[in-house]
Amino acid sequence: MVIPAAMDSPANAAPADGGSERAGGRDGWREDAPEPLSAGGPGRDGGLEACPEGWLPAAVNQGWSYRDRVEPALAGLPASVFYAARHRHSDRACWQARLAAGEIWRNGQPLLLDAPLASGDRLVWRRPPWLEGPVPADFQVVYDDGDLLVIDKPAGLPVLPAGGWLEHTLLRLLERRHQGAGAAIPRPVHRLGRYTSGLLVCARQPQTRAWLSASLRESTAAGLAGVGEVGGCRKLYRALVVPGALPLVPGETLLINTAIGRREHLQLGQIWCAAAGSQPGDLAASSSLTLLECSPQADLVQVAIASGRPHQIRIHCAAVGAPLWGDPLYGPGGQAAPAARPGDGGYQLQAWRLELQPPSGGALVLEAPRALGLGGGAREDDGVAGPGVRSA
């Protein structure tokens, strides 16, 4: 019997590192539960070390309740077997210890014994408070018209609760900053991976979030169909990749159409990675990569995405043999390393330019205050218009 494992969170949320994945929900946004990690302890970035000025220090949160419902095909399994298969970060012995501690509830009552489950049982793991590591808390507002808000997100700040983060997220920072301000709280319209910096779009009104989410869906559909961006929605990223791996000279462009699908992963059960496009659930994806500049240490590329798949830029660069420099997860070929997680950092990826048509009309073109360059410094617009386009 195969039990479907949870993905990067119980809500199957996978932040789109460079993929501008919509945040989901009816109005284009959804708050996702954090991913349960180790048994009640800190996340991978936990610790009490001093943090720089402008950062939130490490702090213990209030815990979280993770909810599951037993499907008919899984009836009869002991609770520990069910949980160990659904959330593979912990083995059966660990789940048995949580049962004994009274952390697992079934149908509104504590489940103290490792009893067989019945179809339709509603389970809740009441995870005790855990330590969240320090995160950067300062961000610059790039655009604000009273409804639409675009910020320059720093690398290292999670956008929504997921992956072991609950309170130390951009969403919570926005809620605290705008609480009681007499206006609706801006909420993210799409995601950026924790270590992806740059432009992130938020909106205060649900109808604006719904409109922008629909615009992103239409842009993805149009891009995959090869008919260009609908409504002027265009996203450009910059990244540092391993040097000398691309068959390009500066100014040349490579089209990448590698599919992205879920595959087995030792820690998470399943993870997004490069795929052949032959299995159910594989997603078509398209990126256009332009080489901007070369150096012995790293190459600087610009990537335009025609689809918003999870971790798309990281996977596509790796799929053509040029992984992001310092990326611990995706190596050449675009497969995931078994010892790494999507939230592990070390790479440099920036959402640096956004072109869209807001609901109010007109054209909005925004750029990050400091474009990523070799060495991470600010650069002027390169104005790249490559001599040729190749296909991968």
Quickly tell me which residue has 């070369």 as its tokens. 294
Q: What percent of the chain has pLDDT over 90?
A: 65
Q: Which two tokens stand for residue 323?
A: 């992984």
pLDDT value at position 88?
A: 79
Report DSSP letters for 79-97, one per residue. HHHHHHHHSTTS-HHHHHH
pLDDT value at position 113?
A: 93
Q: What is the pTM of this model?
A: 0.82
Cα–Cα distance, 345 to 340 (Å, whole number)? 10
Per-residue pLDDT of 264-274, as tens digits, reads 988 888 899 99
Buried b (16+ CB within 10 A) or exposed e, 270-295: bbbbbbeeeeeebbbbbbbbbbbbbe
More confident: 60 or 388: 60
Q: What percent of the chain has pLDDT over 70?
A: 79
Find how far residue 300's CA is from the centre of its chain: 22
More confident: 176 or 30: 176
Quickly tell me which residue has 């072991």 as its tokens. 164
Q: Specify the 3-state DSSP secondary structure of 209.
A: helix
Q: Compute the average pLDDT of residues 101-117.
A: 96
pLDDT value at position 231?
A: 52
More confident: 175 or 390: 175
More confident: 217 or 193: 193
Name all domains of the chain by residue range, CATH numbers in brackets: 64-127 (3.10.290.10), 135-391 (3.30.2350.10)
Residue type at 82 in one-letter notation? F
Please state which of the ranges 101-115, 215-229, 324-338 shows the lowest mean pLDDT.
Answer: 215-229
CB 36 within 8 A of CB 165: no
pLDDT value at position 380?
A: 44
Q: Which helix (H) or strand (E) holds 200?
A: strand 196-203
Q: Compute the average pLDDT of residues 131-147.
A: 95
Kindly indicate the confidence band of residue 13, based on its pLDDT and cuts at 50, 70 and 90.
very low
pLDDT value at position 383?
A: 40
pLDDT value at position 234?
A: 85
Please state which of the ranges 32-46, 82-96, 156-170, 241-255 shows the lowest mean pLDDT.
Answer: 32-46
Residues 6+ apart with CB under 8 A from 32: 9, 10, 11, 13, 24, 160, 161, 162
pLDDT value at position 204?
A: 93
Per-residue pLDDT of 284-330, as tens digits, reads 999 999 999 999 999 999 999 988 899 999 999 999 999 999 999 99
Strand partners of residue 287? 256, 305
pLDDT value at position 170?
A: 97
Q: Specify the 3-state DSSP secondary structure of 99.
A: helix
Kindly indicate the confidence band of residue 224, based on its pLDDT and cuts at 50, 70 and 90.
low
Per-residue pLDDT of 326-354, as tens digits, reads 999 999 999 999 999 988 999 999 999 99
Handedness of CA 178, 182, 186, 187 (dihedral sign): positive
CB 316 within 8 A of CB 392: no
Q: Which helix (H) or strand (E) holds 233?
A: none
Q: pLDDT at residue 33 above 60?
A: no
pLDDT value at position 8?
A: 36
Q: Compute the average pLDDT of residues 69-76.
A: 95
Cα–Cα distance, 119 to 70 (Å, whole number)? 5
**Candidate ranges 30-34, 226-230, 358-362; pick with highest mean pLDDT:** 358-362
Q: What's the mean pLDDT when you consider all of the chain?
A: 84
